[in-house]
């Protein structure tokens, strides 16, 4: 008797739409952390503010594109659900 191989669930449409943006933001976070920690330890306080200010600005610049992708995924999901309700009506 063989054991069944679990099948991972399909990711949500919202996660798929946000995935490229999340990857970019995680890379930007990595850069901010590396910028803050590499170099003279006595200057960490001087580098942290600008590094994380740049990170916040990068997040703000990505917001319109992320919202556009998410709204497209939401519209597709809602459209499918509405079509399902319509199909059930007599």
Q: How confident is the model at residue 27 (pLDDT cuts 50, 70, 90)?
A: very high
- Tell me what pLDDT residue 10 has: 81
Q: Report pLDDT digits (tens) over 41-74.
A: 888 888 888 989 999 999 999 888 888 888 888 8
Asked if residue 49 is part of any domain, the answer here is yes
pLDDT at 6 over 90: no
Q: By mean pLDDT, which of 1-15, 24-38, 62-76 is the weakest?
A: 1-15
Structural domain boundaries, residue 19? 13-88
Q: 7 in a domain, yes or no?
A: no
Whole-number Å distance between alpha carbons of 18 and 26: 12
Total of domains in the chain: 1
SS3 assignment for the chain: CCCCCCCCCCCCHHHHHHHHHHHHHHHHHHHHHHHHHCCCHHHHHHHHHHHHHHHHHHHHHHHHHHHHHHHHHHHHHHHHHHHHHHHHCC
Output the average pLDDT for the chain: 87
On whether residue 6 sits in a domain, the answer given is no
71 inside domain: yes
Does 3 fall in a domain? no
């Amino acid at each position: 008797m063989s054991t069944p191989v679990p099948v991972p669930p399909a990711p949500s449409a919202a996660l798929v739409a946000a995935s490229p943006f999340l990857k970019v933001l995680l890379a930007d976070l990595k850069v901010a952390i590396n910028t803050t920690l590499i170099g003279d330890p006595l200057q960490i306080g001087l580098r942290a503010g600008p590094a994380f200010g740049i990170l916040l600005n990068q997040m703000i610049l990505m917001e319109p594109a992320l919202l556009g992708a998410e709204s497209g995924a939401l519209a597709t999901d809602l459209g499918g659900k509405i079509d399902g309700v319509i199909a059930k009506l007599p």
